[in-house]
């Protein structure tokens, strides 16, 4: 057994009363992390390590800058750097802002589920430039991990949160050991690290339908995402970004429903009535985003109804059921990725209600014939990856 040396003392463990916590490195080993600012907690480091692996693998698999927004050891969103159309730029509150590819990737990742990304840990595959740092300065976030930082960008980030913003540099050349271990309840659990590198080669077994290059890109991104998401997990991907992630559920169909509900909320964020909300000048960017989410969700409390009216320059009626249904019917070309096999066709029935046209799952269910039949009924392309990606 290796002896370990303490490298980074942590603020605390999972909770403040778990006062002693540290990152330790085996004797003679190199560390993949360098703490440049702030004092992380144990969960911050777990988010950083999972987020860094995700964005590095996504960048290598797809060939574009990648970003992830992590909360509680699962991504709230992930994306690669594809251009934003006007509707997305307005929904993400970045219309007219000059964004670099790295900044764009993060804007997309955070835009998946802005409510969950509040206070996130950021992971970026590229050196952080000044425009990205300036954008990050204006959002509520706990920290960032990236392979490097431009000097001015680093100073901007160090000034965030009154100097407490966590900045971690990742070693892009670090190769982790073949096996990994964790200790719990006095026992050490050891396993081979999940070192399967996701690529388009995992999408060769097309059970029904066909794939286009955009679908391959989105399915590859989704496979990388669920590889680093707490299981069970299902994610929906569209146009190079996640639009809904269902993580850590005991039932797979609950993952599918949860991710689908988030995908609907994301799509409704581009509804003309939502983008047409006119806020008073004093309402800050994050407040505008939060209000749009609550407006879409529709279950405003009496207090929130009054507060929203005070935030708006012009009164608007709530989105009606028929308006929602009509808009959601326009959502299409969505990819669904599952970290474990789909056991029953109910997952497909629910997925079909959220614009899903492509599915990647390991295959192997005893009812795989029913799943295939359901995909054929809805015109959904089904791919068996033959790859289970449970992550705990």
The CATH number linked to 99 is 3.40.140.20
Catalytic residue among 37, 56, 71, 350: 71
Is residue 324, in this structure, part of any structural domain at all? no
Question: Has residue 165 got a pLDDT over 60?
Answer: yes
- 143 and 231 co-located in one domain: no
- 149 and 238 co-located in one domain: no
Angle between helices 42-62 and 213-227 (to 10 degrees): 160
Tokens of 94: 């970045």
Closest residue by Cα to residue 68 from 35, 115, 117: 117
Q: What share of the chain is helix, strand, coil (3-state, %, to 5)?
A: 40, 25, 40
Is residue 246, in this structure, part of any structural domain at all? yes
- 200 and 161 co-located in one domain: no
Is residue 180, in this structure, part of any structural domain at all? no
- 152 and 13 co-located in one domain: yes
- 310 and 369 co-located in one domain: no
Closest residue by Cα to residue 67 from 92, 43, 87, 42: 92
- 297 and 367 co-located in one domain: no
**Beta strand segments in 38-149, E:** 66-71, 74-80, 120-124, 141-146
**Please, which residues bridge with residue 183 across strands?**
188
Catalytic residue among 72, 158, 161, 273: 72
Using 50, 70 and 90 to split pLDDT, how confident is the model at 27?
A: confident
Question: Has residue 221 got a pLDDT over 90?
Answer: yes
Q: How many domains does the chain have?
A: 3
- 302 and 168 co-located in one domain: no
2 is catalytic: no
Per-residue model confidence (pLDDT) at position 202: 97
Tokens of 378: 């809805």
Is residue 122, in this structure, part of any structural domain at all? yes
| Mean pLDDT (whole number) for 148-159 | 97
Using 50, 70 and 90 to split pLDDT, how confident is the model at 26?
A: confident
Collapsed DSSP state (helix, strand, coil) of residue 125:
coil
Is residue 372, in this structure, part of any structural domain at all? yes
- 95 and 145 co-located in one domain: yes
Q: How far is CA 172 from CA 124, 158, 197, 292, in A?
A: 11, 21, 16, 38
Phi-psi region of 161 (alpha: psi -120 to 50; beta: other; left: phi over 0): left
72 is catalytic: yes
Is residue 245, in this structure, part of any structural domain at all? yes
- 20 and 88 co-located in one domain: yes
Convert the pLDDT of each residue in 88-137 to its tens digit: 999 999 998 989 999 999 999 999 999 999 999 999 999 999 999 999 99
Among 150, 175, 200, the domain boundary falls at 175
Convert the pLDDT of each residue in 223-245 to its tens digit: 999 999 999 999 999 999 999 99
Residue span of the structural domain in which 312 resides: 272-318
Question: Has residue 4 got a pLDDT over 60?
Answer: no
Per-residue model confidence (pLDDT) at position 315: 86
Among 146, 175, 204, the domain boundary falls at 175
271 is catalytic: no
- 255 and 350 co-located in one domain: yes
71 is catalytic: yes
Convert the pLDDT of each residue in 336-392 to its tens digit: 999 999 999 999 999 999 999 999 999 998 999 999 999 999 999 999 999 999 999
Is residue 37, in this structure, part of any structural domain at all? yes
- 246 and 280 co-located in one domain: no
Convert the pLDDT of each residue in 268-301 to its tens digit: 999 999 999 999 999 999 999 999 999 999 999 9
Give the rounded percent of residues in the chain with a pLDDT score beyond 90. Answer: 91
Omega before residue 232 within 30° of 0, cis? yes
Catalytic residue among 44, 50, 232, 347: 232
Is residue 390, in this structure, part of any structural domain at all? no
Among 120, 155, 175, the domain boundary falls at 175
Question: Has residue 5 got a pLDDT over 70?
Answer: no
Using 50, 70 and 90 to split pLDDT, how confident is the model at 3?
A: low
Convert the pLDDT of each residue in 172-202 to its tens digit: 999 999 999 888 999 999 999 999 999 999 9
- 130 and 51 co-located in one domain: yes
Per-residue model confidence (pLDDT) at position 121: 97
Question: Has residue 1 got a pLDDT over 60?
Answer: no
Per-residue model confidence (pLDDT) at position 317: 87
Catalytic residue among 17, 20, 282, 392: 392
């Amino acid at each position: 057994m290796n002896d370990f040396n303490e490298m980074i003392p942590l603020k605390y463990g999972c909770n403040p009363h778990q006062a002693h916590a540290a990152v330790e490195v085996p004797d003679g080993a190199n560390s993949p992390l360098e703490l440049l600012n702030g004092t992380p907690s144990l969960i911050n480091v777990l988010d950083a390590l999972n987020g860094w692996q995700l964005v590095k693998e996504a960048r290598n698999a797809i060939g574009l800058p990648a970003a992830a927004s992590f909360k509680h050891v699962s991504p709230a969103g992930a994306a690669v750097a594809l251009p934003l159309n006007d509707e997305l730029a307005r929904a993400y509150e970045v219309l007219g802002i000059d964004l670099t590819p790295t900044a764009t990737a993060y804007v997309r990742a955070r835009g998946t589920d802005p409510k969950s990304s509040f206070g996130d840990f950021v992971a970026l595959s590229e050196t952080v430039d000044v425009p990205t740092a300036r954008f990050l300065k204006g959002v509520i976030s706990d920290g960032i991990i990236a392979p490097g930082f431009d000097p001015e960008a680093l100073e901007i980030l160090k000034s965030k949160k009154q100097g407490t913003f966590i900045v971690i540099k990742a070693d892009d050349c670090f190769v982790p050991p073949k096996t990994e271990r964790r200790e719990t309840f006095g026992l050490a659990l050891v396993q081979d690290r999940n070192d399967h590198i996701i690529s388009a080669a995992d999408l060769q077994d097309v059970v029904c339908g066909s794939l286009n290059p955009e679908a391959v890109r989105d399915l590859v991104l989704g496979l990388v995402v669920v590889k680093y998401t707490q299981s069970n997990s299902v994610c929906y991907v569209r146009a190079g970004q996640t639009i809904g992630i269902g993580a850590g559920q005991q039932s797979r169909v609950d993952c599918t429903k949860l991710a689908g509900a988030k995908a609907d909320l994301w799509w409704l964020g581009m509804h003309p009535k939502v983008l047409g909300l006119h806020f008073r000048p004093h309402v800050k960017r994050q407040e505008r985003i939060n209000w749009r989410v609550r407006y879409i969700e529709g279950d405003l409390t009496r207090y929130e109804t009054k507060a929203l009216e005070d935030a708006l320059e012009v009164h608007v009626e709530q989105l009606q059921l028929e308006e929602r249904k009509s808009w959601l019917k326009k959502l299409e070309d969505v990819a669904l990725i599952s970290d474990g096999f789909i056991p029953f066709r109910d997952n497909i029935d629910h997925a079909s209600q959220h614009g899903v046209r492509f599915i990647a799952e390991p295959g192997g269910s005893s009812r795989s014939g029913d799943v295939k039949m359901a995909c054929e009924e809805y015109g959904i392309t089904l791919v068996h990856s033959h790859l289970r990606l449970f992550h705990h």
